[in-house]
Amino acid sequence: MAWCQEGQQRSHFSRKNIRDRLIFCKGYRDWTAEDWGKVILSDESPFQLFGASRKKLVQRRQGECYHQSCVMPTVKHPETIYVWGCFSAKGVGSLTILPKNTAMNKEWYQHILRELLPTIQEQFGDKQCLSQHDGVPCHKAKVIIKWLGEQNIDILCPWPGNSPDLNPIVNLWSILKRRVDKQKPTNSDKLRALIMQEWAAISQDVAQKLIDSMPGWIAEVLKKNGQHCKY
């Protein structure tokens, strides 16, 4: 038997990427899991119908790569839904399904952040927390920085670009996609409903374990001198 699988895809790192990753990791290498427990991590992710959002492996004999039992059916232009979510050690937070053909800009990002406020209040109350933002332009817009300041929300920074291996929400998306794909939604309405349903079903224990992994991820990136690490 042989495993028919694709190689891992990773973003190419420029010297600036590597430098920024090292600066970030050196700045937070002494943080404990308890420290990371004060952070809300966020990101957006695409979900596609018919499991197109995930790679699949098949077990086959040599020469059977194109045998019917080893070929996965695909859809040429699968329906894609984009979502934005956040979580902390206290559990998953708000999840926003973006309207079709929505371009993420500062106005939409501010709308999403407004929906984050109840999560902060519910999970942290009056205690201090930090919100993670990456370096895309709409996240750094003056109106966004001003609004965050008005809400007394501190930002975890400087967050390095092209660094999914430093954000465990990537693992959370994988968990969510497996759960959604397992139920084989057949249309976009069912896909949306399952995304929301399965997101709400993710336990606090899962979120806690992902946050607890942060010190190890930081150490691994430093060990590899800023290069990719497994996530």
pLDDT at 218: 95
Closest CA to 226 of 162, 178, 174: 162
User: Model-level pTM greater than 0.85?
Assistant: no
Residue 129 has a CB neighbour count (10 Å cut-off) of 18
Answer yes or no: is pLDDT of 103 > 90. Answer: no
Confidence band (pLDDT; 50, 70, 90) for 25?
A: very high
pLDDT at 59: 65
Q: Could you give the CA distance from residue 177 to residue 15 in angstroms, rounded to a whole number?
A: 33
Structural contact between residues 106 and 144, judged by C-beta atoms closer than 8 angstroms: yes
Closest CA to 78 of 46, 30, 42: 46
In this structure, which long-range contacts are made by residues 141-149, counting pairs with CB atoms below 8 Å and at least 24 apart in sequence? 141/106, 141/109, 143/106, 143/110, 144/106, 144/109, 144/110, 144/113, 147/110, 147/113, 148/113
**pLDDT tens-digit map of 138-197:** 888 888 888 888 888 888 878 898 888 999 999 999 999 999 999 999 999 999 999 999
Answer yes or no: is pLDDT of 1 > 60. Answer: no
Whole-number CA gyration radius for the chain: 19
**pLDDT tens-digit map of 42-79:** 999 999 987 544 455 556 666 655 555 555 555 555 68
Q: Could you give the CA distance from residue 119 to residue 148 in angstroms, rounded to a whole number?
A: 15
**pLDDT tens-digit map of 197-226:** 999 999 999 999 999 999 999 999 999 999
pLDDT at 89: 96
Q: Give whichever of 100-114, 130-144, 159-173 has the largest mean pLDDT.
A: 159-173
Per DSSP, helices labelled H in the chain are 15-28, 33-36, 106-124, 142-150, 169-182, 188-201, 204-212, 214-223
